Structure 1
Amino acid sequence: MMLKAFSILFSGNLIGKIIGALREMIIAALYGTSSPAAALRISQSATLIPVNFFTAESLNAVFVPLYNKYKLDNEQRAINFTWFMFSLIGSVSIFLAIILFFTAKIWVAILAPGFNEETLKLTINFVRIMSLGIPFYLMNSVISYFEICNKIYIMSSIRASVQSIGLIISSLFSFYLSNVEYLAWGFTGAYVYLFFHGLYNLNRKRLIKLPSLDLKEIKIIIRDFWKLLKPLLLFPFLLQGNIIIEKVIASLLGVGVVASLDYAKFISETGLLLIAVPIGTIFLSELSNASPERVENLLHKIIPIIMMITIPLSLFFIVNSEGIISLFYARGAFNSESVQLTRNIFIGISIGLWATITAYILQKVLNAQMKNKVVVKIMAASVFTNILINVFLYKFLGPLTLGLGSSLYGLIYLLLASYNLGILKFTVQNILVVGAGSLLYIPIAILINGNSIIYLLLSALVFFIYWLLYILSIKSLRNAVMPVLLNRLKKTKKVTSIGE
């Protein structure tokens, strides 16, 4: 069941990433790192930062474990809780949309102090358009988490694709109709569609059931909800505060850096989207109310595999950074200066990408175990480290600082989360075992490094052969991966034989 769920989320996110890559290429070609591109990035952040106070990590960390608990104990209460969440988030989302629409000027001025007057005005207009999509965005989050609790992953798997398609359509309209404000409508339009699509799916699967609320029931739900939410109240301030600092520093480094930051993150977040998000989402659902023994056993199986994927991937990104950035973006308005700006940030992020991916998964395990106080403490330490790096080093290291801060954030989070889950020694051992393979791989990779597609393909081939041989030569790594591969092969043969 977990493998099937992972396959659905992975394939959906992979398709979303491919469409997202096309989106980024189109925006880069049409607008490069110019004012419209920077305005789009800041306006997205300006819209999502206040929204994410009520969704993302906080919402799913409360909704999924509590719903699953109710479903085991009292199914009608689970239904009542769902309606409570829809009502609460719906009311909050409308309030947020109104506030953001009328305070857009103040908010953008805080986020982008380095913008000139023309870019500032454009960003404000973008934010006002995007604010109209906030209710649909937030309600779509509730729908997707409700689906996850019922072992359905439709909304989670198509969300990225629909958003990217919306932005592709809007970017083409804005460019060819010479009206850049169409760029912002892609975000709003995508989430309007997703909301109605989500309701249609819930109705089709007959998951929409009427509540049976009374005062006593409401009090129980509010009490349990508040108990689980209270430790997480600081969480969105930390998470979104971290993003605000990044955007402010980026704007102080130049308009081009603002766009470059998001271009770099789009590529580096591939691992997060394809590996960490599916596994973390499944763990959040499957490990709710699970015994510590089951959690530890599952982590001992998954950690070595994650390390074997993420550490080599991070190294590949670092060594081939210029070629990767050039392949994705170097066309049209995206010139050599844009390539170097994006590359510097991309290298910094990639240094600790492996840690960030693994840390995200461990965070979801902690959420599933309802250890939200621990999550907030770890987040505070990680965010504080990132902010210190950004504030004190950006004048000396330039755009690279933004990436390095992100990497240190991931490393601190990974170590502290591993300690609290009782697997710190095991985690460090796997880091060292896989990291040792890098000592020989790095000089080999540097020798065949280049900017053309031929060099990238050759580098990818050498990467695959080298790490396959390394895994097979190390007993602990071999023992970790072979059972998974053999189990997958057995299932594939079984499906084939049934089909015959």
Structure 2
Amino acid sequence: MSKTAKAALWIMIATMLSKVLGLFRELVIGNFYGTGKLSDVFLYTLNIPGIIVAVVGSAIATTYIPLYFELKEKKGEEEALKFTNNIINICAIITVIIAILGLVFTEEFVKIFAGGFSGDKFDLAVDFTKIMISGVLFLGVSKILSSYLQVNDNFVIPGLIGIPYNIIIIIAVVISTKTNIRVLAIGALIAMASQLFFQIPSAMKKSFKYKPYLNVKDETVKQLTILVMPMLIGVGIGQLNTFVDKALATTLSDGKLSALYYAGKLNEFVMALFVTSIVTVIYPKLAKMSNTKNNSGFVSTIVTSSNSITLVVMPIAIGAIVLADPIVRIIFQRGAFDAQSVNMTAMALRFFSIGLLASGIRDVLYRVFYSISDTKTPMINGSIALLINIVLNFALIGSLDYIGLALSTSISSVVTVILLFGSLKKKVGYFGGDKIVKTVLKTFGSSMVMGAVAFFVFKNISAIMGIGKLGDIVSTSVAVLLGALVYTVLIMILKVEELDLIFDMIKKTKNKLLKR
């Protein structure tokens, strides 16, 4: 098994641990607060620092990776480390300014991010935001430190930062039910800080030494600024897509924003586990191959990563559409998360799942462009997708209510991928697009058969088992297992190459564990 495959596997395991704990966090929140007013406010304001950092910190951290490789190759590790400290300090200054503005203009921030909140909801959102906004500093610097670890072949620790984060929020949720609801916001702030401090020891083991070095006139910083501006707009557009959806959801009746949130979290779990794990590993490799003009390896990496994601995500998306109701019941239904919450969340999950594969391939294609220092193309294509999403949001929310917001998000993801494929062909010529499309068609056909089998099995077993948690677990588990078996057999018959890679990863991991 290749070094890249091993790294992807270990980050997948690390991400699984973090995300399983993240799902447990959602269970705890859902159990105590359901899909009501308080959960709407907390879940939404919890994302405000993340949205801001996703725009600023992610753009800087992503551009940092290819520039780090270039600087290290030309001037050595010492200069690359100096550049890293410079970027950390610049990012810290930017986020401190944002935090101060957030504290001074909190009401304006909330009006921008949650324009539909009013009365008690609005006041509580302002209160929570005042407490949590300082988290942008920790999240911003944490992004840069994660990138530093990744370029130095440590992918596991960045994948595990969700563990302390989720544990702290879970503790805060439980304590808040016994004390004061402000404990939710305080716990969230501490959780954000934990992501940074969790990574520092590992960074130091990779020879990282912090120095208060700041030079905005540095040539590499100037180069980063040129590259980061289109990316900043591009990442901002992606977050604006999310913002528009949630802002419109705040205008709907209580609980619908939370339903979209919980459904989105289930899809995010799949994305983080399979897509982010692969993308995180291949991006530094793509940047290195682009820098060393390794064209054959570059194309091979694009095809393998896209097809591997397709092979895994396509059946999951179809399965989520077919088995949305029992999945949501098993995971979330308890305490204040009642049957109505299940129905709303399951419907949102179905429509989000339509665009799940497109979101995964889109993330791969974005990294392909970033690795060749092209940040404008993703920005332009993302802008077009944003306009489509906004138009569809307003067109569909009237007839489909909150479901229209989920559907428009999926459609815009599909459009973005189509545009990116066209742009990539113009930019680099042949990139293995025919092989990617071929695999998509094979996995789609196999997944549809799998979905039909899973639906039939679930219906028949649930009729025997009856209504209840145990019946759902047994019926869904058998349906998933038999569906997965049918899918695997079909994929083997159709000879999808990446299946061998996945089998190899599983076999090598099993052998390694047995030796221990």
2:10 partner SS: helix
Say if 1:139 and 1:440 are closer, same or farther in 2 by CA, change over 3 A: closer
1:397 to 396, 400, 406: 400
1:40 touches 1:183 (CA, 8 Å); kept in 2? Answer: yes
Q: For 2:157 and 2:143, locate their aligned partners in 1 and report how far apart those are by CA, in whole Å.
A: 9
Residue aligning to 2:67: 66
Residue aligning to 1:462: 482
Q: CA offsets, 1:294-342, max 9 Å, x none? A: 2211223333332221111101000000111111111111111111111
Say if 1:193 and 1:304 are closer, same or farther in 2 by CA, change over 3 A: closer
One-letter code aligned to 2:419: L
Gaps of 5+ in 1: none
2:388 touches 2:412 (CA, 8 Å); kept in 1? Answer: yes
One-letter code aligned to 1:338: S
Q: CA offsets, 1:230-266, max 9 Å, x none? A: 3324223312221221111111222311111111111
Residue aligning to 2:164: 162
Q: CA offsets, 1:333-360, max 9 Å, x none? A: 1111111111111111011211211221
Correspondence 1:272-351 to 2 at 5 A: 272-290=271-289, 291-351=294-354
Q: For 2:127 and 2:90, locate their aligned partners in 1 and report how far apart those are by CA, in whole Å.
A: 28
Q: Offset of 1:482 from its aligned partner?
A: 2.1
One-letter code aligned to 1:296: V
1:79 touches 1:210 (CA, 8 Å); kept in 2? Answer: no
1:288 partner SS: helix
Correspondence 1:389-428 to 2 at 5 A: 389-422=392-425, 423-428=432-437
Q: For 2:333 and 2:133, locate their aligned partners in 1 and report how far apart those are by CA, in whole Å.
A: 32
Q: For 2:415 and 2:255, locate their aligned partners in 1 and report how far apart those are by CA, in whole Å.
A: 29
Residue aligning to 2:258: 259
Gaps of 5+ in 2: 426-431
Matched, 1:33 2:32: no
2:56 touches 2:232 (CA, 8 Å); kept in 1? Answer: no
Residue aligning to 2:428: none
Say if 1:487 and 1:269 are closer, same or farther in 2 by CA, change over 3 A: closer
Residue aligning to 1:430: 439
Moved more, 85-94 or 220-229: 220-229
1:97 to 83, 96, 99: 99
Say if 1:194 and 1:269 are closer, same or farther in 2 by CA, change over 3 A: closer
Q: For 1:266 and 1:193, locate their aligned partners in 2 and report how far apart those are by CA, in whole Å.
A: 21
Matched, 1:364 2:367: yes
2:68 touches 2:80 (CA, 8 Å); kept in 1? Answer: yes
Q: CA offsets, 1:113-149, max 9 Å, x none? A: 3323111111111111101222112111111111111
TM-score norm. by structure 1 comes to 0.92
1:109 partner SS: helix
Say if 1:125 and 1:283 are closer, same or farther in 2 by CA, change over 3 A: same
Q: Offset of 1:282 from its aligned partner?
A: 1.2
Say if 1:305 and 1:87 are closer, same or farther in 2 by CA, change over 3 A: closer
Q: Offset of 1:431 from its aligned partner?
A: 1.8
Q: Offset of 1:204 from its aligned partner?
A: 4.1
Residue aligning to 1:448: 457
Moved over 4 A (4+): 209-213, 490-493
One-letter code aligned to 1:480: E
2:500 to 478, 482, 490: 482
Q: Offset of 1:218 from its aligned partner?
A: 4.1
One-letter code aligned to 1:4: K
1:253 partner SS: coil
1:151 partner SS: coil
1:352 touches 1:408 (CA, 8 Å); kept in 2? Answer: yes
Matched, 1:79 2:81: yes
Q: Offset of 1:483 from its aligned partner?
A: 5.0
Q: CA offsets, 1:32-62, max 9 Å, x none? A: 0111100112212333333322112x12321
Q: Offset of 1:209 from its aligned partner?
A: 6.4
